[in-house]
Structure 1
Amino acid sequence: MIKPVAERALKVIESCVDPKGLRQIAANARQRGELDVARVADLRLYEILPSEKPGSFEHDVWRSIHALEGTLTNERGKTTRLGRTRQKIARVGELETVKDLIIGAKKPSEGFFMLIERQMPELTFEAVALRHPDKFDFTMLDSAAGRLRSVGVEVDVSILKC
C-alpha cells in the first residue's frame, strides 16, 4: 500500500517540469526511505532535462546521458559527468556516437552495464536505437537487440523485420 505522502508526491512528480523541484522531491524521498518515489522523480527529471524535442532521437540520447550521470552522482555523492561521451557528441554528433558505441565497440560499453544493473535498460543507447529504427540499418538494430537480449531484456522483434 502506498503511503498518502508518497501518493501526493507521485501526483506532483507526474506534472512537474521544474528540475530543482524534482531534485528536492527525490532527495526528500531518499531521506525518508521512499526509494520508489525517488526513482520516479529521478526518471521524470531525466525526461525533462534534455533541451531537444521530446520523442526525438537526440532527446532520447540526452535522456540516457542525464540518467546515467544523475544516477552516478546520487550514488557517489559528487557530480559525475560522462566527459568522453559528451566530447564525442560535440565532435561527431549523437547519431555517430550511438553507432560507434553499438557496433564500433566489440563489447558493450561500461554505461550499458551500469544502466542494466540499475534496472534502466530502456535508457541504454541500444534501446534508443531500437526506438528510432529509421536512423539505423538492420545490422545495427540486430546488434542492439542482441546485446539487450544477452542480458535478459525482452526485445520487440517486429522492428527488426525488413
Structure 2
Amino acid sequence: MNIPDPQTFTDPIKLRKLMANAVRLGHDDLAFNCQLRIAELVGETHDAGIEREFWTAIAAAEEFKTAAAGKSSKLTKLRAKHKRVGAQRVLADQIMEDGFSDGFDTLVANGRGDLTGEAVVLRHDDEFSVDEVNAARKKLMEHGISSAERMEREAVED
C-alpha cells in the first residue's frame, strides 16, 4: 500500500481528505501527521518568528480539539485577543496567568509540548521579560516537559 507523505501536501483540503481516509482506515499516525501539516501550513502564512509559531500552535490545538470533539473547534477568545494586541502580548499574558490554558492542555495531551506558548516564549526568550521566561519554564517543568534546550533543538529540526 502506498501511503502519501503529508509533508508533500500544500493544500489543506487535500490534507483533510487524506486525514479522513486515514481515520476511517485506522491509520492514527497518518491522521496525526496530517493535522500537524495543516497547522504548519497555517503558520507559513504568517511572518517568521513568534507570529508564525503562535499561529502554528493555535492551528494544531484547534485541529486536535476538532478531532476529539468530532466538530469544528476554534480558540475564539485567543484569536480575538490576538487581533487586539498581537501574538507576543497574548503569549506574555497567558504565561503570567495561573494555571494552564486549554490550548496548552490540548497540545501536551497530543505529545506536542514543543508547540505550546510556553515553548514559544523559551525559544524567543530575548523578546520576553525574565519573569515571563521563568514562568514559561516553570509551567513546562510542572508538566514534565524538558528545558529550553530541547525546545530550541526541536525548533531547528522543524
TM class by shorter chain equals 0.7 to 0.9
Q: Distance between the aligned counterparts of 1:133 and 1:23, measured in 2?
A: 34
Q: Distance between the aligned counterparts of 2:150 and 2:131, measured in 1?
A: 15
Q: 46, 51, 54: which one pairs with 1:52?
A: 46
Gap change, CA 1:22 and 1:158, over 3 Å in 2 = closer
Pair 1:42 & 2:35 matched:
yes
SS of equivalent to 2:100: coil
Deviation at 1:5, TM superposition (A): 2.7
SS of equivalent to 1:17: coil
Q: How does 1:111-150 map to 2 (within 5 A)?
A: 111-150=103-142
SS of equivalent to 1:49: helix
Contact 2:119 2:148 in 1 (8 A): no
Q: How many residues align?
A: 150
C-alpha RMSD over aligned residues: 1.7
Q: How does 1:1-162 map to 2 (within 5 A)?
A: 4-6=1-3, 9-10=4-5, 13-50=6-43, 51-53=45-47, 55-103=48-96, 105-156=97-148
SS of equivalent to 1:25: helix
- Residue type matched to 1:118 in 2? N
Q: Distance between the aligned counterparts of 1:67 and 1:158, measured in 2?
A: 19
The percent identity for this pair of structures is 31
Consecutive aligned runs of 4 or more in structure 1 exceeding 4 Å deviation: none
Structure number, greater radius of gyration: 1
| 1:116-154 CA distance string (max 9 Å, x none) | 112111111001111212211222111111111111111
Gap regions ≥5 residues in structure 1: none
Q: Distance between the aligned counterparts of 2:134 and 2:121, measured in 1?
A: 10
